[in-house]
Structure 1
Amino acid sequence: MEWTVAQVARAAGTTPRTLRHYDEVGLLPPTRTGANGYRYYDGAALLRLQRILLLRGMGVGLPAIADLLAARTDAGTLLRQHLELLREQEERLRRRSAAVRAALGRVERGEELDVDEVFDGFEGARGPEEDGSRWEEEVVARWGRGAWEDGRRAWEALGPDGRAAALAEHDAVGRGLAAALGEDEPADGERAQELVRRHHAWVSRSWVPGADAYRGLADTYVQDERFRATYEAFGPGTARYLRDAAHVFADRELT
């Protein structure tokens, strides 16, 4: 069987633009292109996309994913590897859920919290101030050493007041996107695009991403559970809405 780019994008929870981008950077070429110009994907391509999305969801950058995909792996081995990755994620989520339930029980019973119990399963979920080296590795892998250095210097140069203002602007954009989504504003509409323009300007305080980099950054807001949680806190669907609007903005304004 074969599926069109629209069918695959819909089933995978991504966009045709993202699939075209994966083709452009050599990650996911279509199985074939029809005489009508439509792209078609077979089962092997679906498994390849599954692997890409799994790795993206774990924060792996596109260059590193390309290296992993270069290894020839049969379908059975590939699926077993995928299953192992999901089992690891499932175990982390199980431990985190248990930790939250235990903390809730202690609070409801009026008991003291146990610090080790509260954070069971949250290893590696610390912020950049506690684990800067991990964030540095991620940024360098995704966007290069220059992006990390420029961003670090720019953030430090803002000072306490500037950093507070930057965080306030980020929250304002997030609330605006959630409100626009709630009022059925299309992602390519004027209101959504103005909010994304502000978001790109906010990102550019530390590092100015071009079209491909901004699309890749927007993809992480859906694929990476940490970033997704940040935007979903403004309202359900906000992360995906921002991703879609950012892709439109990149195509219109950054190319």
Structure 2
Amino acid sequence: MEAALKRSHHKILPTHSVYWFLAGLALLYVEAAALLDPLGVPLLPHQMVQDVLRSGFGFYLLLLGIPCCIWVLGWRARDLFVWLMAPHTLTVDDEGLRADGTRIRWRDVREIIEQHADDCVTLRHTGGTLRLRLFLWSDPDVLHDAVLEQVVSRLLERVIHQVSAGKPVRFGPLVLGDLGLIHRGKLWRWDDIESIRLQDEVDQGYASRDLVIVAQGKARKFDEAKVINAPVLLAYLSGRLAG
């Protein structure tokens, strides 16, 4: 591969997490004011605190205020803390991925898991696990495509070699073998499999992506995030079905 493929990505401030962080701090301040007011600590005007507590949501503020603060700051704003801990730049080339003193070689990656809902790619390698939040980096689509191209091509070679040697390869709930694809003990032979594709789903505002396999005239959907090495399986089956 050409050295020109080397590219650096700088981290981007997740503004949505900043808003959640500020909202969490504001809620925490109001909660602290309500709890400390009886002790004579005036974080807010006494009359304002009393008006809030006597309102329709005063009881819920006292009961659920602290759990809500924990949820907002610890969950909704978590990407801000990840951003603060992340290195300033991330470099991708034909050999691997480098961030400050950490380097992951593509040949050491054993699994790739796509989490479309979180805009995240998880790489499990010989040295551990890297959860790559794409939206925290500049040119996230370019970064995603580069990681997929480098990792999938190498893992695909291994899968082809294992299947040719008669060894089954597990992809989460699916097992690939020389005769076809196995799901829950049922074999779909190559002639039974008609197509495979990725399909985006949105359910009550939650976005996900399914791996859809049409076999024996019936479409089966698998959550992409639960299919280990889903892009590799997609590439293998697409090539196999194409002849």
TM-score if structure 1 supplies the norm length? 0.27
Rg larger in structure: 2
TM-score if structure 2 supplies the norm length? 0.28
